[in-house]
């Protein structure tokens, strides 16, 4: 049984080898596959990271994601450095969970007329009747992180904040500083044993980390498969992504119409994109996990476009409430489905696209008209 203690007034408590090892065991018992601690030092490396992030935003690479562009009273981007938002912070605990539930890849042959939903969004939790109900990794990871946070507070009596994709910090940069991997050329965190199918949760703490973790070496070598495979040219250079061109951004974050020059590259993707991870050699032997809350819902693997198109509002809520797809909303999902139908070249979608093209939603109508023009000439209105 672990002995916990609270920090006494005036007592100096820091991360040491023993406490980091204890954290790793605690994280594993809480359902994580890797954990580490990133030191915050206000050093040249952090300044360089802040400058890179600022340049990325100012180049327009964040698209319409306004939350990435928020600035403090001094006009500095809040996410450029952890201590911009948390002046009291001294370290960041990073926990990673593998979400590779197995199943096919989007780049493999698939039945005609199917779309693609990103692997992380397949997740389900087994219910009492044996069916799989939708889950959202935000809630799943926050639940697992609650036990980590509770134990840390008992051991250290520390101030801390917990986040899963919602805090004003760049989680992947912290994961690299914590020794959990290196930044791949596709901008994903690459762990030498787990690959990149990873979800991250972080705890910002006031516990000092006297010695920084030695960074893992970059082992991407001369490989450029991710850059070569990106259909929309979002990976403009190694470790440099133009998010405004990324299929994940276009299908999830982008509101309104999608630029026509990017639509053909979207292929059959209707929610997110896995291509740059699927082609990565480090994922060839990525472990497959089967755990509660992360089971693959079979209906979401290569889903039929016709099935998605036929969902009314109640059906959409029934299938996707409490899942990542709820975030994109039904109107945006249908826009994506219309583009996928156009890219399929299958005339069987003509009637559905014609109905959408004559409908009241201007964004969906425009996407449907574009899709109709891509179908065989005999299928056009």
Q: Active-site residues: which are they?
A: 165
CB 336 within 8 A of CB 269: yes
Residue 75: CA count within 13 A, CB half-sphere:
1
Q: How far apart are CA 143 and CA 141, in angstroms?
A: 5
Q: How far apart are CA 277 and CA 333, in angstroms?
A: 22
Tell me the sheet residues that pair with 183: 189
Name 36's Cβ contacts closer than 8 Å, sequence gap at least 6: 20, 23, 24, 93, 94, 175, 178, 179, 180, 213
**CA-based torsion, 230, 236, 237, 238: positive or negative:** negative
Least Cα distance to 97 among 126, 130, 140 occurs for: 140
CB 35 within 8 A of CB 211: no
Q: How far apart are CA 297 and CA 283, in angstroms?
A: 21
Q: How far apart are CA 135 and CA 142, in angstroms?
A: 12
Backbone φ and ψ for 125, nearest 5 degrees, come out as: -120, 130
Helix (H) / strand (E) containing 319:
helix 313-320
Pairing of strands 116-117, 269-271: parallel
Backbone φ and ψ for 131, nearest 5 degrees, come out as: -80, 165
Q: How far apart are CA 325 and CA 328, in angstroms?
A: 6
> What's the order of all strands across the beta sheet hosting 91-98?
34-39, 91-98, 198-205, 160-163
| CA angle centred on 172, ends 166 and 173, rounded to 5° | 110
- Placement of tokens 């609650």 in the chain: 146
């Amino acid at each position: 049984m672990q002995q916990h203690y609270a920090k006494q007034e005036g007592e100096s408590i820091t991360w040491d080898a023993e406490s980091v090892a204890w954290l790793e065991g605690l994280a594993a018992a809480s359902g994580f596959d890797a954990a580490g601690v990133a030191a915050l030092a206000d050093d040249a490396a952090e300044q360089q990271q802040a400058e890179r992030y600022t340049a990325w935003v100012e180049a327009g690479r964040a698209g319409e994601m306004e939350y990435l562009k928020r600035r403090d009273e001094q006009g500095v981007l809040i996410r450029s450095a952890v201590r911009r938002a948390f002046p009291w912070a001294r370290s960041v605990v990073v926990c990673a969970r593998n979400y590779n539930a197995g199943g096919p890849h989007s780049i493999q042959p698939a039945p005609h007329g199917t779309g693609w939903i990103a692997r992380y969004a397949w997740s389900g939790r087994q219910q009492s009747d044996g069916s799989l109900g939708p889950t959202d990794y935000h809630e799943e990871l926050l639940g697992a992180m609650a036990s980590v946070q509770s134990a840390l507070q008992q051991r250290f009596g520390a101030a801390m904040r917990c986040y899963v994709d919602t805090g004003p910090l760049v989680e992947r940069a912290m994961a690299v500083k914590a020794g959990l991997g290196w930044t791949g050329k596709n901008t994903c965190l690459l762990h030498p044993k787990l690959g990149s199918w990873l979800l991250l949760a972080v705890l910002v703490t006031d516990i000092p980390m006297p010695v920084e973790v030695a960074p893992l070496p970059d082992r991407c070598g001369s490989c450029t498969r991710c850059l070569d495979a990106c259909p929309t040219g979002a990976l403009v250079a190694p470790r440099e992504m133009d998010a405004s061109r990324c299929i994940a951004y276009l299908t999830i974050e982008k509101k309104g119409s999608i630029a026509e020059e990017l639509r053909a590259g979207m292929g059959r993707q209707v929610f997110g994109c896995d291509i740059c991870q699927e082609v990565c050699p480090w994922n060839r032997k990525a472990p497959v996990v089967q755990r509660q809350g992360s089971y693959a819902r079979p209906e979401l693997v290569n889903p039929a476009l016709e099935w998605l198109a036929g969902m009314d509002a109640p059906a959409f809520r029934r299938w996707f409430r409490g899942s990542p797809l709820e975030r994109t909303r039904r109107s945006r999902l249908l826009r994506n489905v219309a583009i996928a139908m156009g890219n399929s070249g299958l005339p069987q979608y003509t009637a559905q696209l014609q109905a959408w093209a004559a409908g009241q939603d201007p964004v969906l109508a425009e996407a449907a008209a574009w899709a109709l023009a891509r179908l065989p000439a005999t299928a056009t209105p």
